[in-house]
Structure 1
Amino acid sequence: MRAWRMVVGAGRDTARAVVMTSYDDRFSYSLYVPRVYSTLAVVVHGTDRDVLGYRDAFAGFAEENDCMILAPLFPADVPDPDGYKYLCRGQIRYDEILLGMVDEVAGRYDIATERFLLFGFSGGGHFTHRFLYLHPDRLLAASIGAPGAVTLLDGARPWPAGIADTADCLGHKIDPAAVAAIAVQLVVGEKDLSTDGIATDARHPAWIAGVNDAGVPRPARLHALRESLEHHGAQVRYDLVPEAAHDAPAIFPVVQAFFSDILS
């Protein structure tokens, strides 16, 4: 295994850093390290991959809540730009890559990472709710922001529309009761109504009639996910952000308020 390697550092005691992960050097992550830290929050980019923007937007939250920020980069050319959204493409397991990054941070810093906060927006929202299904034992809470398609907690549908065959295709049998034990926020802008780039049809593996098909906007998809989670006993906070469209910075304050509540 390669050594932990810093690529870029800036500011007080490398408070902001970009790191090539030793787990797989095609991937990297950025950290914000506050003066005091006891908890880790992971913030996952959307298709725009604005990793540094996400990290820096959470810097104030990090200082106020003694919470280190880890922002992974899942690059567009390894090998499928949408691969990370579904956790697995070919031989790449994006959930395991993230866990490898978390383990590296635990090895470098004196911080407990057995459970961490996880947020993702758009493509990151795809990643976050599917990671929650496979690894509820690793999470303090999950904030799922405006995914373009959802996986229902439905044992009658194949992955990624549902969870029927995850033991075979992902090596994890999903436990809905364990998922329901984790605090969940679903968050989307009230004007996030365009379906450009997210419409699916019956040929798409995530297609669910009336949920992920063409013409269904993101708030409706999140509503379907909410119903699915609540059906299994999950306590779900649903935030429809006034006046916001598909704009990550517009929902960051709502996510940070949710995480602050969890930590307090």
Structure 2
Amino acid sequence: MIRVADLPATHPGRRLLTKRSPFFAAPGEPRCSYCVYVPTSWTPDAELPVLVAVHGTGRSVGELREGFIPFAERHRLIVVIPLFPVGIDDPDDVDGYKLLDAHGIRFDLVLLDILEQVRFRWNARVGSVLLCGHSGGGQFAHRFLYLHPDRVAAVAVGAPGGVTLLDDSRAWPEGTGDTRQRFGVTVDPGAVARVPVLLVIGGDDDGRADLAAMGDHGHSRPEQLDRLAESLRRHGTAVEKVVVPGVGHSAAGTRPPVTAFFARLLSE
């Protein structure tokens, strides 16, 4: 695998591997892929930090990357966008990645392998990353935090339709009682509590009708976010919650609080 630092500055590969990259097959699971945005200030010895943004059910990865480019340029970081496609082993499965484990694929481990490749190719700092996701991406993000709190510097969770509570009396994905058997990891609420969390949702994003149409007649998205906030706070996590007035179920509409949250943490 080519390291960008090994290419001469005038090599066309430098242009291909900086700014908007092509999509790369994920190492170990080529049915998944990822792209990055590398800021124009990148240099071979920069060791830039990384922000991972996880898509929702619609997989709008192009818009997702574009939306974080100004932030990447302003704060000199690399944006990583994984793509977990629809239809792996089940042509109608749109949700498996949200639970981290489906069809024999550990999507959390796929992301960790992607980060290792990003580290090698761009000399990036991936030991602890900023992580965010909206809707289905928000489901992935908070569950990834539970299993890998040491790999996350801060998490922003936007409008998830389903949540996992820090509750050992419930099995995954409702709770964390069987994570040792399922993932080989016992969730440590104390380690989770060391990671600052932002919960964000649009003021007009009820979501009850959408969730009911998919067979979930339980909680609305605001209720799910409140359940997650209460569970995290009960175990000591510093949780911020932002409701964006006049915004529906929109990743772009709820992005400003996410970038403000991360910018503040980067400045500290």
Q: State the TM-score, normalizing by the size of structure 2.
A: 0.88
| CA apart distance, 1:254 | 1.2
Length, aligned pairs only = 250
* Structure 1 residue 33 corresponds to structure 2 residue 38: yes
The runs of 4+ residues in structure 1 deviating greater than 3 Å are 9-14
Alpha-carbon distance between aligned partners in 2 of 1:193 and 1:226, rounded to the nearest angstrom: 17
Stretch deviating more after TM superposition (104-113 or 9-18): 9-18
* Structure 1 residue 60 corresponds to structure 2 residue 57: no
Specify the SS of the correspondent of 1:76: coil
For 1:171, the aligned partner's letter is: G
* Structure 1 residue 82 corresponds to structure 2 residue 95: yes
Alpha-carbon distance between aligned partners in 2 of 1:14 and 1:131, rounded to the nearest angstrom: 27
Specify the SS of the correspondent of 2:260: helix
Q: List alignment gaps of at least 5 residues for structure 1.
A: 205-212
* Structure 1 residue 234 corresponds to structure 2 residue 247: no
Alpha-carbon distance between aligned partners in 2 of 1:165 and 1:13, rounded to the nearest angstrom: 41
Q: List alignment gaps of at least 5 residues for structure 2.
A: 4-12, 43-47
Alpha-carbon distance between aligned partners in 2 of 1:90 and 1:25, rounded to the nearest angstrom: 14
1:200–1:224 Cα change, 3 Å: farther
Whether contact under 8 Å (2:131, 2:141) holds in the other structure is yes
1:57–1:10 Cα change, 3 Å: farther
For 1:198, the aligned partner's letter is: L
For 1:226, the aligned partner's letter is: A
| CA apart distance, 1:21 | 2.1
Whether contact under 8 Å (1:184, 1:236) holds in the other structure is yes
1:259–1:13 Cα change, 3 Å: same
Specify the SS of the correspondent of 1:142: strand
1:159 to 145, 169, 172: 172
Alpha-carbon distance between aligned partners in 1 of 2:182 and 2:228, rounded to the nearest angstrom: 22
1:20–1:147 Cα change, 3 Å: same
Whether contact under 8 Å (2:27, 2:110) holds in the other structure is no
| CA apart distance, 1:53 | 0.8
State, as a whole percentage, how many aligned pairs show the same letter.
Answer: 43
2:263 to 237, 243, 260: 260
Alpha-carbon distance between aligned partners in 1 of 2:14 and 2:224, rounded to the nearest angstrom: 40
| C-alpha RMSD over aligned residues | 2.2
1:92 to 102, 105, 130: 105
Specify the SS of the correspondent of 1:234: coil
* Structure 1 residue 194 corresponds to structure 2 residue 204: no
* Structure 1 residue 182 corresponds to structure 2 residue 185: no
**Structure 1, residues 207-232: CA drift from partner, whole Å, max 9, x if none?**
xxxxxx62522111101110000000
1:196–1:263 Cα change, 3 Å: same
Alpha-carbon distance between aligned partners in 1 of 2:210 and 2:104, rounded to the nearest angstrom: 26
Alpha-carbon distance between aligned partners in 1 of 2:55 and 2:154, rounded to the nearest angstrom: 17
For 2:31, the aligned partner's letter is: R
1:154–1:215 Cα change, 3 Å: closer
* Structure 1 residue 16 corresponds to structure 2 residue 29: no
Specify the SS of the correspondent of 2:125: coil
Whether contact under 8 Å (1:186, 1:238) holds in the other structure is yes
Alpha-carbon distance between aligned partners in 2 of 1:122 and 1:116, rounded to the nearest angstrom: 20
| CA apart distance, 1:262 | 1.1
1:4–1:110 Cα change, 3 Å: closer
Whether contact under 8 Å (1:40, 1:67) holds in the other structure is yes
| CA apart distance, 1:190 | 1.0
